[in-house]
Amino acid sequence: MPGSRSTHFVRCQPSLRRSQSIRCQKPEVGSTEERSSRIVTRRLLSGGGCCCGLCALVKPTLAKSVTLDDGFTYDAGFAYGMAYGMLDYENKVQDRKQKLFAEAFDGLDSPSVVDIGMGTGPNLPFYSKQKGIKITGIDPNLAMDSFAQENAEAQGLQPDQLKLAAGRAEKLPLPDSSFDVAVCTLVLCSVDSVEASLREVKRVLKPGGKLVFMEHVLAPSSSFLLQIAQQVFNPLQGALAHGCHLNRNPEPYMAPAGLSVKHADRFFVEGEAFISPHVAGIATAQQA
């Protein structure tokens, strides 16, 4: 396929030129590069100037094994940091994710899934055991794709099971009523419009389709000191972290978008500082 980054997994919109130039090499475990990636990303995620999976403030040395022929290394460095700096966080939320995805896939045969803001593919392990699953991954950062493809291969997904497309949550390049399940994990914090993004989720879901969501949110009033800190640092967070917000709460926007929240659990992720307050749950696309 002309312009495709891989001869195996399918990329939509192949005319996007930057997608042709990414070369990725995983650092050796225990190497200086691997340790630096974890340390820098953890600092950023824990209140040192960034958050969630959407920070690109990775030192230039962390991107040296990811080269772009047009010199555009910011997104590549971001993707590299996300691929190797979020493992601790993902381990902490693994059990919650497992339960959510098991519920979302219950009763579905050969489910179709759209992972919005798929990034490097941290949710792929929860998809791979679903027989006949078809996944469409959407992300505006093309540098994520090589990592997502590598993850898909590692999880045993077949070439026809994953398609990757460039796009934004507010305007998904997808047809109406085409997916059984939509997924947003650490995405709604950084979109330009939560309302527009959730309307798009509703649009691309089949009637009765499910949205799996897990987002960091504004702390509850019972944790008022953390809440104040989130509000104070929110402008800096947005400036440094691709528009990420520390003070959002997606729940109130779901019903107006046509999504009925089936359940939503509030919890704290230990050791995650400003992004420790979370909400996770499942919402259903209401009948038109």
> What pLDDT is stored for residue 10 in this prediction?
52
Kindly state the DSSP code that residue 257 receives in the 8-state scheme: G
User: For residue 268, is pLDDT > 80?
Assistant: yes
Cα 154 from Cα 131, distance rounded (Å)? 16
Cα 111 from Cα 65, distance rounded (Å)? 36
Residue 258 tokens read as 């046509």
pLDDT single digits (tens) 211-252: 999 999 999 999 999 999 999 999 998 887 778 899 999 999
In the chain, what percentage of residues exceed pLDDT 90? 65
Reported as a pLDDT band with limits 50, 70 and 90, residue 28 is low
Round the average pLDDT of the chain to a whole number and report it. 81
Domain ranges across the chain: 10-85, 92-285
The domain at 92-285 falls in which architecture?
A: 3-Layer(aba) Sandwich (3.40)
Cα 56 from Cα 59, distance rounded (Å)? 9
pLDDT single digits (tens) 39-98: 444 444 444 434 453 333 333 333 334 444 444 466 887 788 788 888 899 999 999 999
Task: Using DSSP bridges, classify how beta strands 277-285 and 259-268 pair: parallel, antiparallel or unpaired.
Answer: antiparallel
Cα 262 from Cα 208, distance rounded (Å)? 11
User: For residue 35, is pLDDT > 70?
Assistant: no
Where is 220: in which H helix or E strand?
none
User: For residue 24, is pLDDT > 60?
Assistant: no
Reported as a pLDDT band with limits 50, 70 and 90, residue 25 is very low
> What pLDDT is stored for residue 228 in this prediction?
97
Residue 225 tokens read as 């000191």
**Mean pLDDT across 3-29:** 40
> What pLDDT is stored for residue 237 in this prediction?
84
The tokens 């230990």 sit on which residue?
A: 270
Helix (H, G, I), strand (E, B) or coil at 197: helix
> What pLDDT is stored for residue 161 in this prediction?
97
The pTM (predicted TM-score) of the whole model is 0.79
> What pLDDT is stored for residue 32 in this prediction?
47
